[in-house]
Structure 1
């Protein structure tokens, strides 16, 4: 089935089933085009709260669909491919994290949204890269903090806030794939380009950046900046929506260690979702995301705290 026919069929099914499609910026272009809302983790969480449809099709990765289910326990939440996981979420197994938490009593737990429902249930507050600084700054100075699972984001927050935090040793393979050597070579070719980076990137990449922020923050920065050329250090899927916002500006993906076709860093998990899978998922209303009630109730509290603070 060709792309245009698939899109038509998806839009028709969406109407028939009273469904809404939420998609992350890192999804393939065709999926972003048929989505009702495209955004970053914070925007998607906020949008999920306001959904009045019967079915939420989440075009993203597993932890994102779980978050939508936690926020909408009475709605059906479906994900095009259950194997669309997250290397960062996988780096924080609940049993090991529970032990880690017990080893640091009297600490509150702030977790980055890129984690499983079980980890959220062990948390006091959830944050995203958009609001992480605000969330950490909202905690009284004398309060001890565990930050998980992303150590790179944790280091960035510590540097920006001056707060000491105990960091879980997790990371995202996509944001750790950028090559500083190739990036510096690219800067020599484009001395007029500004580097913008996601705070999940390693410290040596962040040191080169003119702007550091979430995917939504990066898009806004590029729109408002007087510069006309940018090297973008995050998953390359963001370039589609970003280019729509600034059609007259030049966007260059930051280079990765890997020699791949796009010479950029791509999330294999995000790219597991395809337009065909979106259609099949909506047609069959499957795979469906299930979160045990006890986990749902516990995980909802730190997510709501985040949304209140945002």
Structure 2
């Protein structure tokens, strides 16, 4: 067997974590994860660092080294409240940019600069300016799954959990809503505000179909289907509940269905299953290739080297920060 660094001290330090994860992480894998987890957790203390992890991170990251976990809104809020000198964002690039916007004087690290997002790459600042020319005076609401360049052209940001509330809080008859077309349609179904959408899609959620969901229902009796609003409309129509990742977690914790299908990135099912061993999770596993670029190995390297650090041009930072801050103010 190769030397994994799984010394007795590592076993003692990480065994409580493994006890939570042993239903979703094989012991053979844990021999490799545990030494990295032990080193990361020790280094966090010496660096005065915190790790923010999105719900789509793998269980060894989510449960093993993260200090703060959640969806985009939760991470944005928590980023403003932590007093660490260093923030490591275990997520994708736009999330690290958002953390930097809200913490301009802190070091914000993204372990892999290639951790992007199909939604963020679907629109540019120039596209937003063109929309404004086409619809003069109409406010722009941008999903947080956008680059800082797009946020800088935006009136207010939103997340999947507060999108409807943000749109209605503006008190206007119509808004430009970007970049996710399916989230825009979901909001439009619930409000009298006219929604002018962009046509971006999440490469994970757009792969689900309503027929696939109905197939799972036929195969698993009593299945509770919870879907993310980035999914196509036929998937949302087939679901029992539509909500953000955090809202899905809250649904599971509060209603405790015996058998559940989370129609979203599949690592989230592992993370929720680890916390609820009494619930059966049916997994239609669509992985986000960008989220999976974040590993224990590159988190450790980022803490050791304090790189790659996120930097934002001053001319973009201030207007983008205002859009995020307005979201946080309106969603309180």
Q: TM-score, normalised by structure 2?
A: 0.88
Query: What is the correspondence of 1:224-263 to structure 2 with a 5 Å cutoff?
Result: 224-225=254-255, 227-253=257-283, 255=284
- The match for 1:40 among 71, 82, 87 is 71
Q: 1:58 to 1:113 in 2, by over 3 A?
A: same
The whole-number CA distance in structure 2 between the counterparts of 1:185 and 1:278 is 38
The whole-number CA distance in structure 2 between the counterparts of 1:63 and 1:289 is 10
- The match for 1:28 among 41, 55, 58 is 58
Whether 1:274 and 2:304 are equivalent positions in the alignment is no
Partner of 1:53: 84
Secondary structure at 1:191 match in 2: coil
The whole-number CA distance in structure 1 between the counterparts of 2:256 and 2:289 is 33
Question: Retained in 1: the 8 A contact 2:224–2:257?
Answer: yes
1:163-212: CA deviations, max 9, x gaps?
21111111111010113333222110113101110001000000011110
Partner of 2:20: none
When structure 1 is superposed on structure 2, of 97-106 and 211-220 the one drifting more is 97-106
CA drift at 1:138: 0.6
CA drift at 1:160: 1.1
Partner of 2:220: 190
The whole-number CA distance in structure 1 between the counterparts of 2:241 and 2:216 is 17
- The match for 2:189 among 159, 162, 165 is 159
The whole-number CA distance in structure 1 between the counterparts of 2:99 and 2:165 is 22
Partner of 1:260: none
1:218-251: CA deviations, max 9, x gaps?
0000111253111110111111232134221111
Query: What is the correspondence of 1:197-236 to structure 2 with a 5 Å cutoff?
Result: 197-225=227-255, 227-236=257-266
Q: 1:226 to 1:12 in 2, by over 3 A?
A: closer
Partner of 1:261: none
- The match for 1:293 among 309, 314, 317 is 314
Whether 1:125 and 2:156 are equivalent positions in the alignment is yes
Query: What is the correspondence of 1:53-72 to structure 2 with a 5 Å cutoff?
Result: 53-72=84-103
Partner of 1:114: 145
Q: TM-score, normalised by structure 1?
A: 0.94
Secondary structure at 1:299 match in 2: helix
Partner of 2:198: 168
Superposition RMSD in Å: 1.2
CA drift at 1:11: 1.0
CA drift at 1:96: 2.2
Secondary structure at 2:310 match in 1: coil
> Number of residue pairs matched?
300
Secondary structure at 2:80 match in 1: helix
Question: Retained in 1: the 8 A contact 2:58–2:271?
Answer: no
Partner of 1:181: 211
Q: 1:287 to 1:226 in 2, by over 3 A?
A: closer
Partner of 1:89: 120
The whole-number CA distance in structure 1 between the counterparts of 2:186 and 2:33 is 41
Which stretches in structure 2 are left out of the alignment for 5+ residues?
A: 5-31
Whether 1:11 and 2:32 are equivalent positions in the alignment is no
